[in-house]
Amino acid sequence: MSTFAAPKGIPEYYPPSSAGFEHVRSTLLTAADRAGYGLIELPVFEDTGLYARGVGESTDVVSKEMYTFADRGERSVTLRPEGTAGVVRSVIEHGLDRAGLPVKLRYAGPFFRYERPQAGRYRQLQQVGVEAIGVDDPALDAEVIAIADEGFRALGLTGYRLELTSLGDADCRPAYRELLQEFLAGLDLDEPTRARAALNPLRVLDDKRPEVKALMADAPLLLDHLSPVSAEHHAAVLKHLDALGVAYVENPRMVRGLDYYTKTTFEFVHDGLGAQSGIGGGGRYDGLMATLGGQELSGIGYGIGVDRTLLACRAEGLAPWSEARCEVFGVPLGDAAQQRLVVLAGELRTAGVRVDLSYGGRGLKGAMKSADRSGARFALVLGDRDLESGTVGVKDLVAGSQESVALDAVVADLLTRLA
């Protein structure tokens, strides 16, 4: 009989290495939680039209990478490729924008894109994201960027950089689009590139092929053609980031892979990851809410790749997490000892201590091997003689020492040792 394997391009996280994944995700979420971003849990799949309209049909995400299928009711649904469109849909549907602005939300979970699997690029990618909807304020842009930066710094990362630019607004984008199209018309581009340029000429600025990059060296840049309002907004964002001590590099050629971005647009890059160097990014989306049927409200947000951030930690040799499954491991020697340790484990867990036990009637040697593998700091060794004397052996698995402690005092004793 053949065995099954996980689908191609989908990473799995399991003990002990899953501790790193969990730590990265929770650290990134904590940074958002501290800034007042409430939790939102989104559907894993949505109406396909949400992404076609919200993300943009010219994007690679919509045209090439979505997992789209018909459900049993013959409705076209798509596994979510990104989070912002779903958040905006939820805000509109539940009227969250009518209860005070900005609406500040955080989320985490898997997203799905049919891409060619490689290191750091997966078909099921894990993200942490935030969205702040309803207020067009440069200070809010800076806050969102600073939250992401705080999450990376809390993990101990130092080898990343923040790149940002402005993609302008409705007052300057059309004129710049014409200017760029005129420039592109004079270039010797292949047909697929020319077709992509007809849909969205900004995409050609982000082409990674050396021959196209050389052709685009003298292309006009949107940052040089911003409207007065966009230019003032961009300058204010930079001023706020300076005041917050968030370092950045302006990248006027940045083009994010989603069509809804306007004004502030940014990406965090880590060169230790090779070709897939982006670990997170986002930007402002002034017209998205109206496009999806809501009010004319602006928004800004980001998505951080948990997978890639974990790879960045590994690239820097960081492991600010413990792979220990528990802090205390119980070693019962006999049925009566097991019954007593089960109760004791419950008392310790109630007191906030992570506890595991040896099951299956294993002998002392095998149980102690399990204790070592668990990563516990202390082992509780209990046999018939210990029960008769009302004591339990507390073994320090780091120092190798052991002493007897009264059973009715061991909870308090361990809490003191673990403090």
Q: What is the pLDDT of residues 28-37, one digit of tens each?
A: 999 999 999 9
For residue 2, being part of any structural domain is answered with: no
Q: Which amino acid is at 168?
A: G
In a domain, 182, yes or no: no
pLDDT at 112: 96
Examine the fold and report which residue of 315, 344, 373 is the final residue of a domain before the chain moves on.
315
Lowest mean pLDDT, pick from 169-178, 253-262, 337-346: 253-262
Q: CA 325 to CA 184: how far, in whole Å?
A: 58
> How far apart, in whole angstroms, are the C-alpha atoms of residue 76 and residue 78?
7
- Whether 181 maps to a domain, the answer reads no
**Does residue 90 share a domain with residue 134?**
yes
- The neighbour count for residue 332, using CB atoms within 10 Å, is 24
* Rounded Cα distance, 170 and 333, in Å: 74
In sequence order, the 6+-apart residues with CB closer than 8 A to the CB of 262 are 167, 168, 169, 170, 173, 283, 284, 285, 286, 287
Identity of the residue numbered 152 = F
Q: Which two tokens stand for residue 209?
A: 């092929």
Whether 396 shows a pLDDT value over 80: the answer reads yes
Give how far Cα 244 sits from Cα of 134, 247, 263, Å: 23, 9, 20
Residue 214 has a CB neighbour count (10 Å cut-off) of 9
118 against 305, higher pLDDT: 305
**Whole-angstrom Cα distance, residue 296 to residue 32?**
25
Task: Judge whether 396 and 345 are in contact, CB under 8 Å.
Answer: no
Q: Report the pLDDT averaged over residues 231-240.
A: 98
Looking at the chain, the whole-number percentage of residues with pLDDT higher than 70 is 99
Looking at the fold, whether 269 and 408 belong to one and the same domain comes out as: no
Report residue 90 as tokens: 């939820």
Q: Among 53-57, 85-89, 307-311, 317-321, which stretch is predicted with the lowest mean pLDDT?
A: 53-57
Evaluate whether residue 259 is within a structural domain.
yes
pTM of this prediction? 0.91
Task: Give the domain CATH number at 293.
Answer: 3.30.930.10
Where does a domain end: 315, 338, 362? 315
Gap between the Cα atoms of 273 and 312, Å rounded? 7
Question: Does residue 344 lie within any of the structural domains?
Answer: yes
Indicate whether 238 and 353 sit together in one domain. Answer: no
Indicate whether 267 and 307 sit together in one domain. yes
| pLDDT at residue 243 greater than cutoff 90 | yes
**Do residue 343 and residue 297 come from a single domain?**
no
Structure tokens at 389: 């004397």
**Same domain flag for 234 and 260:** yes
Q: pLDDT category, 261, cuts 50, 70, 90?
A: confident
- Beta sheet of 45-47, edge-to-edge order: 45-47, 76-79, 68-70
Residues 122 and 267 grouped into a single domain: yes
Q: Are 304 and 345 within one domain?
A: no
Domain identity same for 277 and 380:
no
- Same domain for 144 and 242? yes
> In angstroms, rounded to a whole number, what is the distance separating the alpha carbons of residues 394 and 402?
6
To the nearest whole percent, how much of the chain has pLDDT over 90? Answer: 82
- Residue written as tokens 């993990």? 155
In a domain, 392, yes or no: yes
Which tokens in the block code for residue 1? 């009989």
Number of domain units in the chain: 2
pLDDT digits (tens, 9 = 90+) for 302-316: 999 999 999 999 999
The region that residue 75 occupies, defined by phi over 0 for left and psi between -120 and 50 for alpha, beta otherwise, is: beta
* 390 vs 400: CA distance, rounded Å: 23
* Confidence check: pLDDT of 58 > 70: no
Q: Cα(374)–Cα(370) distance, rounded to whole angstroms?
A: 6
Confidence of residue 258 (pLDDT cuts 50, 70, 90): low
Does residue 95 fall inside a structural domain? yes
Domain boundary pick from 315, 345, 374: 315
What is the reported pLDDT for 188? 87
pLDDT computed for residue 119 by the predictor: 82
Q: Where does the pLDDT of residue 260 fall: very low under 50, low under 70, confident under 90, or very high at 90 and above?
A: confident
Q: Six-digit token pair at 299? A: 């928004």
Q: From residue 380, give the alpha-carbon distance in Å to each of 322, 333, 357, 358, 365.
A: 21, 11, 9, 10, 14
Sheet holding 38-39, edge to edge: 38-39, 103-112, 124-133, 299-305, 278-284, 262-270, 160-166, 249-250
Say whether both 131 and 98 belong to one domain: yes
More confident residue, 325 or 200: 325
Torsion, CA 187, CA 188, CA 191, CA 196, rounded to 10: -20
Residue 138 lies in a domain: yes
CATH number of the domain encompassing residue 397: 3.40.50.800
**Residue 257: is its pLDDT beyond 70?**
no
Look at residues 72, 13, 71 and name the one whose alpha carbon lies nearest to residue 46. Answer: 71
Instruction: Give the whole-angstrom CA distance, residue 212 versus residue 189.
Output: 8
Query: Which residue shows structure tokens 């006027």?
Result: 252
Question: Which structural domain, as residue segments, surrounds residue 346?
Answer: 328-418
pLDDT tens across 124-147, in order?
Answer: 999 999 999 999 999 999 999 999
Q: Are residues 272 and 143 in the same domain?
A: yes
Q: Is the pLDDT of residue 156 over 90?
A: yes
